[in-house]
A and B are shown apart, each in its own frame.
Chain A
Amino acid sequence: MFDNVIDFLLLAQAGPELVSADGLSEVVEQTAGQLTEITGSTAKANLGYLVAAVLFILGIKGMTHPRTAVRGNQLGAIGMLLAVFVVLVSGQVVSWPVAILGMIVGGAGGVWLSRVVQMTQMPQLVALFNGFGGIASVLVAAAEVLRTSNHGAAGLAAGLTGLIGSVTFSGSLIAAGKLQELPQFKKPWNFGGQQIANAGLVVLSVYLAFEMTDGSGWEFFPLVLLSLALGVFLVTPIGGADMPVVIALLNSYSGLAAAAAGFVINNNVLIIAGSLVGASGLILTNIMCKAMNRSIANVLFGKMEAGGVIADADEVYAGKVKSTSADEVAMMLDGVQRVVIVPGYGLAVAQAQHAVRELANLLEANGVTVEYGIHPVAGRMPGHMNVLLAEADVPYDQLKEMDVINPTFAQCDVAIVIGANDVVNPVADTDPSSPIAGMPILNVSEAQTVVVIKRSLSPGFAGIPNPLFAADNCLMLFGDGKQVLVDLVAALKEN
């Protein structure tokens, strides 16, 4: 009966690049036709949602390799289009002018935002989108609460949608503001007893959500206000270095809010898509926490403890730091076999991605193998540094993750560290009392020579000196990242 659906899904499973939008719409049309004959329109809509959900899963599956990722993203978009199409033809749309006007306004805004954003601003944009998804789920639950009386589980689900969605919305706006470095957020906001206030807000919100099981619904609106405040209080004290965790977590929440909204309006596709995103965000949160060796509770509620005695910078560096010049480094790079570049966010701040790529091109032209060692928290969100380098035409097969590159540093002639500090600080391994103790680092010091390009010896986010800079095989190349790279490229060309 549904041979065509099965064939289609098998084909898509074999390779997302094999299916086309035309093929999909044909399958949907045929299947819908078959189904209407036997069941009627509700089953037809649900079948459409099912296909959409499968497309979301295949779409995310496509993301497992850069080669299939573009197609994967398109499958996801087709799934979304299908889900919307199913609603529009279901005859349940309350007001056509409202629906069309809303989609035009939102669509235009989405197109505009996606075009104007710079790659360095991607974390802010994703935070903003997370927030929009969250508030949309809250509004859907609000409309449903007003429309009808939701008893039992549906009432609780409405309450949880309000709670999670509102925290996502206000928390994401604050996170976006911080990442955009708006002057209002320069200093973390704090007030005494903030954690007690937060705990109180959580308890009160959850209580109200459970109260909603009686179907009265009035609790929804105070619950939303409390949760909005909670989102603000939760994110304001969190510092810049922890933003990758916060964005990943809010990403997860935006999915969970959508899933909760699915429970309210009894819709499978919301539940499935929402829980996929919820899982995705949780995994990324976990990866980011591991990359900093901190628990999620520590990120959200704790500060980076200044535990132990922080080594005195003068003591660490005095007389041991060797400074070098672009010419010297250029000479050193002559005749080497393998160079690993370790970029940090300082590279993006200096807008030096293209200069790095130029250096790498030049080295490769001389027969040098060039790779990049990327720490998971090198950027401001998971995978951010990879996008920034991809934008500068760095091929993705040269971007190596930490676990892959670390065992190979011993076979590396020169490691060039640009704008990174804490992620290459050996103290993480050697001093259990340090604030970054246990954080996995890139073992650049195992390379024959390490060249660190940095403005000064100033500490990174963790606020501690870095003994790497004083190591025997380490040379400091002081200056603005971009300028230094330009000088280095010029010096290499002269040789």
Chain B
Amino acid sequence: MDIITALTIFVLAVFIGFEIITKVPPTLHTPLMSGSNAISGITLVGALLCGGGFWGGLFGFLAIIFATLNVVGGFLVTHRMLAMFKKKG
């Protein structure tokens, strides 16, 4: 993948992000933040592909731990919060 393709994807994704996130109501801003935070744990995909040599392996291992913490903790705590939001009655 050349750099221009990657940049294209990046810029378009930023625009999509702006479009949908401006529609999120303030009531849900905290879960939005923790949920999107969990999504940023996508680095886990990169972490799983790390390796090569002692240091590469060690960095990869630590990256997997931190990213999984981010992903699992983020989605679960978001779920915990969202489950509390109830309509009247």
In A72-110, the 8 Å CB interface with B consists of 72-74, 76-77, 79-80, 83-84, 86-88, 92-95, 98-99, 101-103, 105-107, 109-110
State A112–B48 Cα separation when bound (angstroms). Answer: 22
Q: Are A66 and B87 in contact (CB under 8 A)?
A: yes
Q: Are B42 and A83 in contact (CB under 8 A)?
A: yes
State A49–B35 Cα separation when bound (angstroms). Answer: 19
A365 CB to closest chain B CB, in angstroms?
14
**Quick one: which of B18, B24, B40, B86 contacts A133, CB cutoff 8 A?**
B40
Which residues of B sit under 8 angstroms from A261, Cβ to Cβ? 43, 46
State A278–B40 Cα separation when bound (angstroms). Answer: 9
State A270–B45 Cα separation when bound (angstroms). Answer: 8
State A284–B28 Cα separation when bound (angstroms). Answer: 11
- Which among A143, A376, A387, A401 has the highest number of chain B CB atoms within 10 Å? A143
Given known contacts A119-B81, A126-B33, A401-B27, A110 and B71 CB-to-CB distance under 8 angstroms: yes
Of the four ranges (under 10, 10 to 19, 20 to 34, 35 or more), the interface on chain A belongs to 35 or more
State the interface size on chain B (CB cutoff 8 A).
Answer: 80
Which residues of B sit under 8 angstroms from A102, Cβ to Cβ? 47, 60-65, 68
Q: Are A143 and B52 in contact (CB under 8 A)?
A: yes
Which residues of B sit under 8 angstroms from A238, Cβ to Cβ? none
**Quick one: which of A65, A101, A136, A278 contacts B67, CB cutoff 8 A?**
A136
Which residues of A sit under 8 angstroms from B36, Cβ to Cβ? 60, 251, 255, 276-277, 280-281
B22 and chain A: residue at smallest CB distance: A283
- Which among A98, A264, A268 has the highest number of chain B CB atoms within 10 Å? A98
Which residues of B sit under 8 angstroms from A146, Cβ to Cβ? 52-53, 55-56, 59
20 A–B pairs (Cβ distance < 8 Å), ordered by A: A66-B28, A72-B35, A83-B42, A84-B45, A94-B52, A122-B77, A125-B73, A129-B38, A129-B41, A133-B66, A135-B63, A137-B46, A146-B53, A258-B42, A262-B46, A263-B6, A272-B13, A280-B36, A383-B32, A390-B85
The 10 tightest CB contacts between A and B, nearest first, are A94-B51, A106-B68, A279-B17, A383-B29, A102-B64, A110-B72, A110-B73, A139-B63, A382-B29, A395-B88
